[in-house]
Amino acid sequence: MRSLDGKTVMITGAARALGRSHALLFAEHGADLLLVDLCKERQGPYPLSTRRQLEETARECRRSGGTVVTAAADVREQKEVDEAVAAGLTEFGRIDVLVNNAGLLAPGGVLSHRLSEQEWELVIDVNLNGTWRCCRAVLPGMVERRAGAIVNTASTGGLIAYEMFSSYVASKHAVVGLTKALALEYGRHGVRVNAVCPSTVRAEEALGSRSTAAVAESVGTSLDDYEAGSASFHALRRLVTAEEVSRACLWLAGDQSSGVTGTAMVVDAGYTAR
């Protein structure tokens, strides 16, 4: 029996990058999936995901034999989040696991006083408020069943600070705090809430990664040079891979981690060991 057989998992930001990696691994381990992404034809600080990319992820996941439902939703809009959750409940009857993956790494690369209020609010609204909105949508069902697992995506930026990315650092520190608060509130209802904290994740063309390239551009360097420079600050002298982050999420989502809640699991190749 695979570790997620019989479980339904909702993943936000599932069209590409870490979200696609999570979806593929969870599908391999038997999960039925509700895959959610923005899927709107507009540009943010870097090109955002498309419906085509979300459906590509879904097709790859279906090859593992599970049922996959896709939904377009902006995590800044509670109504859209609620509608996505409703689509999952209609198909599956419940959501056992939520992986809050949707997030923005930019705009950044500038001193804090040079950020506009709109740029600041965009990152906070997606990374922090969006995480809370998705939790808010699934928690009633988890409380009713007295079972569930939530994995929030924080970052090493939720534990330490980076220059020139204050909005991102603030949002991810807050996600860690939200994770701990929810763990305390909902543990008595059988719901576990944890966070995963990756450092820079190596860009992979097959996953459609974009955010690391955007960071490299914002600091005036190439993707290759940025990744090489960043790797030198990691104890393993390399960046973590998307699959390594996905495996941490898989463990936190499954029964193997049944005694774990309120944690911020670091997957950073030793970056924060300094």
Cα torsion 31, 47, 126, 175: sign: positive
- Catalytic pick among 46, 162, 168, 271: 168
Q: Determine how many CB atoms are found less than 10 A away from the CB of residue 60.
A: 15
Structure-token pair, residue 1: 């029996």
Q: Report the alpha-carbon distance of residue 140 to residue 117 in Å, rounded.
A: 33
Strand arrangement of the beta sheet that strand 68-72 belongs to: 68-72, 32-37, 8-12, 97-100, 148-153, 191-198, 264-267
Asked about 271 being catalytic, the answer comes back as: no
Mapping DSSP onto H, E and C, the string for 151-217 reads: EEECCHHHCCCCCCCHHHHHHHHHHHHHHHHHHHHHHHHCEEEEEEEECCECCCHHHCCCHHHHHHH
Three-state DSSP class for 73?
A: coil
Q: What is the phi/psi pair of residue 27, to 5°?
A: -65, -40
Q: How far is CA 117 from each of CA 99, 113, 130, 174, 177, rounded to the nearest angstrom? A: 28, 10, 18, 18, 23
Enzyme catalytic residues: 168
